Amino acid sequence: MHVHKYERWWMTFGIVMLLVFLATIGFAAFADNMNPPSGLQAIDPTKVAQIPPFDHPGLRRLPDGTYEAYYVAEVFAFNPQTLTVPVGKKITFYVTSPDVVHGFFIPKTDINMMAVPGWVNSDSHVFTSKGTYLLICHEYCGIGHQNMFAKIVVR
């Protein structure tokens, strides 16, 4: 089989560009310390309402002065609807869902997660200013999706 020299050059150029692309992606992931999610916990979605701490979602203070906020996202509502948290303290949010996939997004913060049935997702944030923050579902979850929101009051 004869391959024209221009075809060989283009194939070589394409392979080299692919290797450069993969090396760049790999280097960027290594330099930014990107890792696959390791904080995921499994939970039986049919028993979310019976499994602590999701049987009584809300805010809990830990002995080290940080806080944990447990949320359940289900059919067009977050539980709790309103949560009051202290300013300047680290809050770790834990969220799960017993029904379908929901979003968990707090605008003007770095909190942006998915509430997936069968899994507990978590992320932390320190609110540096007082105010009321909106918590919204950013994943279309059904006909009442537009009404799925909650408030976080920072004092």
Task: Report pLDDT digits (tens) over 81-137.
Answer: 999 999 999 999 999 999 999 999 999 999 999 999 999 999 999 999 999 999 999
Map residue 119 onto helix, strand or coil: strand
E strands, the chain, are 41-42, 58-61, 67-74, 77-79, 82-85, 90-96, 102-105, 112-115, 119-126, 131-136, 149-154
Q: Return the bridge partners of 83, or none.
A: 152
Which one, of 143, 141, 70, 150, lies nearest residue 103 by Cα? 141
pTM of the model: 0.75
